[in-house]
Amino acid sequence: MLTIVQMGGVLVLAAGVGPAFHGGFTIPVVGYVIMRVAMVAQWLRASRGAGRTRRTTLMHALGLSVVQVYWLAERGALGESLLASANAIIEALEDAGVLAPCIAIAVLTLVVTAAPWWICFWPPHHSAIGSLVLSAVILVAIVVVLVLRSPRSAETPLPGQTP
């Protein structure tokens, strides 16, 4: 029965793909939660008959619960950042004068959003980063170059703003 509940969660998630393209993430998140709650329930059910491995199954259920809550929070933040970048480019397509700065901002947003994730899951990062000061100087230099090269003037409205 719990497997059927998980499949129902997949169907709810799939039904929310269309609305997600327009910023409506409620349906996919509800589907995801249904799937994960059913999976935790399956591990708890397995723990009842696990004998001497009961502790392992309970720890797995607890760990899965904690990781899934963290994953939802982390993916929500990542998704919002990337969606903001995409929306900036979409709006900028209507005004060629602001397209280049919006693309630069979108690229920087992607880098800043992906960097913590990359550092977290890339094991040899400690050997690739020489020093924090050097990394900060390089990042600041990139931002300064992009800002100075921007053709934006004080009179140019942001996409979606009235002049």
Number of domains making up the chain: 1
In a domain, 155, yes or no: yes
The whole domain housing 142 covers: 80-163
Inside any domain, residue 84: yes
Asked, for residue 134, whether it belongs to a domain, the answer is yes
Q: Which two tokens stand for residue 26?
A: 């409620």
Query: Across the chain, what does the average pLDDT equal?
Result: 77
pLDDT digits (tens, 9 = 90+) for 109-155: 777 777 776 666 666 655 666 666 777 777 778 777 777 766 655 55
pLDDT value of residue 76: 63
Q: Is residue 72 part of a domain?
A: no
Is 11 within the bounds of a domain? Answer: no
pLDDT of 42:
93
**Average pLDDT in the 54-77 region?**
82
Chain position carrying tokens 């100087």 = 137
| Residue 143 included in any domain | yes
Q: Using CA atoms, how far apart are residues 7 and 3, in angstroms rounded to an integer?
A: 6
Does 59 map to a domain? no
Distance CA 39, CA 125 (A): 33
